[in-house]
Amino acid sequence: MNKQLAMVIDSSACIDCKACTLACKVENNVPEGKWRNWVKRSEPDFNKPDWMVHSASFHFQPGGCMHCEVPTCVQACPTGATYKDEKDGAVKVDPKLCIGCGSCIPACPYGARYRHPTRNIVDKCDYCEKRRARGELPACVVTCPTKARVFGDISDPKSDAALLLKKNQSVRVINKESDTKPNMYYLSATAPLNWPVKARMPDPIQLWKMAGPLIWGIVGLNAIGVLIMLGKQILMNDKAPETDESHEETRQS
Amino acid sequence: MTQTQIHRHTRLSIFMHWFNAGCWIFLLLTGLGLIQNDDLQPFTSWPTILRIVFGGGANLLLAHEIVGVTWAGGFFLYGIVRLKSDVLPFFREIFNVNIHRDFLWLVAKGIQMTLGYRALGVIAEKFGFSPVIPDQGFYNIGQKIFAVPAVFGGIVIVASGITMILSQIGMASTELVQWAILVHFITVGLVFAGLLIHVFMASIAAGEQPAFISMFTGSVPEDYARHHHKLWLDEVKKS
């Protein structure tokens, strides 16, 4: 069975210290104003008179690229520069094939992608690929003081992530209209839940999906035209009529 | 039996023709290989094959861009150097259209190429037009019609391609680049559809072999010129 790298998160352990987002920025040289990961928060509704009665509290939810099972970003990329690596199940960006067209950015319901202002390509979480090559865990995972983020191969039943998933109930945060089957699991329950947006294919990509068959159809029609002419040439002994020739002769003189 | 040869193409224009053909084949095949997306690519294994041949999508993209820029640059230089001698006369010729004569040529030649002379005779009689295929100039109207998408399509292909390269150096907005990719694909598709006809007419079609050979030698036999480009031959003879 193929590997599936995933993150299993106990969001109730998160204290919103944001060390994970900082560690990520330092590790991956994420430019100013851009983030590869985040901590979302839900606040109690203080307008409700009984907010204290319901033991309402803040809840913090760490996240990042969810390396989805059905990645809409991959569906939006024309060249395969964004692809789901079958070897480890991670969604990756080939930095030398990506031309930074940004089609994938609105296609992600989680806003996990941004266009890098100086590298001019799309960038996002790669589970700290360089650290993993050295045998280390992603920066956000090792940094977390409460160990809210657990990372591993969930198709390996002995991995920490798989064990956690097995022992606990878990939920995934999705937009109902765009269920991309994210590989980010939250233990028991989490909040907020209403923030992922509907995946949006950019207009040119949508139009391409419609115009593609039309263009191929025109090419095909012309190819058929050529085949008809070729068939006629092979099968028919087609000579210009005599009268025609003599007519041309007279015109020449 | 040797007959008089009429000069038709300069060495440089012959070189540009085959330079164009070589670049087109390479760019078409690599460009098709760059489209790797289940919803957009009908030939799903082609991108995979090309990526193996080139050692990855990044190399494939780079090769496509280098040849693309070389192609555009080559034509840009040609356009400057031969503006007066080749380019302007070419445009004058392709927009030199005689609606009545050329429309009749399109209809008559179209029937003859697909159904033959006999059918042309029958149809011409039925609809009351002359079954004689009208004389044509340096280019026939079919060539003139294709010249428009070939040239202006080429300009659109280059402009959209440059937009994509500009994106890589941070000088184009993502929205503009997304449209450029679509325009690049559609334009190439339409010009390629016309190219199929061009290749057939110029290399396979009966009676066109002298035209094909002239793309190497630069000249055509007088008989061929009389038969296919009589108005041009008359002008050559006059001067």
Percent of chain B at pLDDT exceeding 70 = 99
Q: Give yes or no for a contact between A154 and A67, defined as CB atoms under 8 angstroms apart.
A: no
Q: Is it the case that residue A212 has pLDDT exceeding 90? A: yes
pLDDT 10s digits, A30-88: 999 999 999 999 987 777 777 666 666 789 999 999 999 999 999 999 999 999 999 99
Nearest CB to B205; choose among A81, A94, A229? A229
Residue of chain A with shortest Cα separation from B192: A219
Which residues of chain B lie closer than 8 angstroms to A228, CB-CB?
Answer: 114
Instruction: Look at residue A237 in the predicted model and tell me its pLDDT.
Output: 82
Angle between helix B141-168 and helix B57-81 axes, rounded to 10 deg: 130
Q: Is it the case that residue A252 has pLDDT exceeding 60? A: no
Q: Smallest CA–CA separation between A198 and chain B, in Å?
A: 19
| Contact pairs from chain A to chain B, CB under 8 Å | 147
Q: Do B47 and A80 touch (CB under 8 A)?
A: yes
Nearest CB to A247; choose among B57, B132, B196? B132
Q: Is it the case that residue B191 has pLDDT exceeding 70? A: yes
Average pLDDT over residues A137-157: 97
Q: Is it the case that residue B202 has pLDDT exceeding 70? A: yes
Q: Smallest CA–CA separation between A66 and chain B, in Å?
A: 21
Q: Smallest CA–CA separation between A238 and chain B, in Å?
A: 6
Which residues of chain A lie closer than 8 angstroms to B57, CB-CB?
Answer: 79-81, 94, 96-97
Q: Is it the case that residue A201 has pLDDT exceeding 80? A: yes
Average pLDDT over residues B172-176: 93
Query: Which DSSP string corresponds to A55-96?
Result: T---EEEEEE----SS-HHHHH-SSSSEEE-TTT--EEE-TT
Average pLDDT over residues B126-150: 93
Helix (H, G, I), strand (E, B) or coil at A122: strand
Nearest to B233 by CA among B2, B3, B1, B7: B7
Q: Smallest CA–CA separation between A161 and chain B, in Å?
A: 31
Q: Smallest CA–CA separation between B138 and chain A, in Å?
A: 17
Give all strands (DSSP E) within A72-208, no chain letters. 82-84, 91-93, 114-115, 122-123, 149-153, 170-171, 184-187
Q: Within its chain, how far is the Cα of B205 from the centroid? A: 16
pLDDT 10s digits, B64-112: 999 999 999 999 999 999 999 999 999 999 999 999 999 999 999 999 9
Token pair, residue A28, equals: 């991956």
Amino acid type, B231:
L
Q: Do B175 and A100 touch (CB under 8 A)?
A: no
Q: Give CA–CA dist B53/A137, Å, rounded.
A: 35
Q: Which residues does residue B7 pair with via DSSP β-bridges, in sequence order?
A: B219
Nearest CB to A212; choose among B40, B168, B204? B40
* Interface pTM, i.e. ipTM: 0.90
Q: Give CA–CA dist A131/A149, Å, rounded.
A: 16
Q: Give CA–CA dist B196/B51, Å, rounded.
A: 26
Which residues of chain A lie closer than 8 angstroms to B186, CB-CB?
Answer: 211, 215
Q: Give CA–CA dist A252/B237, Å, rounded.
A: 12
Interface probe for B, chosen from A74, A92, A93, A101 (most Cβ of B below 10 Å), is: A101
Q: Is it the case that residue A242 has pLDDT exceeding 70? A: no
Q: Do A232 and B204 touch (CB under 8 A)?
A: no
Q: Is it the case that residue A247 has pLDDT exceeding 60? A: no
Q: Is it the case that residue A245 has pLDDT exceeding 60? A: no
Q: Do B190 and A247 touch (CB under 8 A)?
A: no
Q: Do A120 and B167 touch (CB under 8 A)?
A: yes
How much is the mean pLDDT over chain B?
A: 95
Taking the alpha carbons at both ends of chain A, their separation in whole angstroms is: 83
Q: Do A202 and B40 touch (CB under 8 A)?
A: no
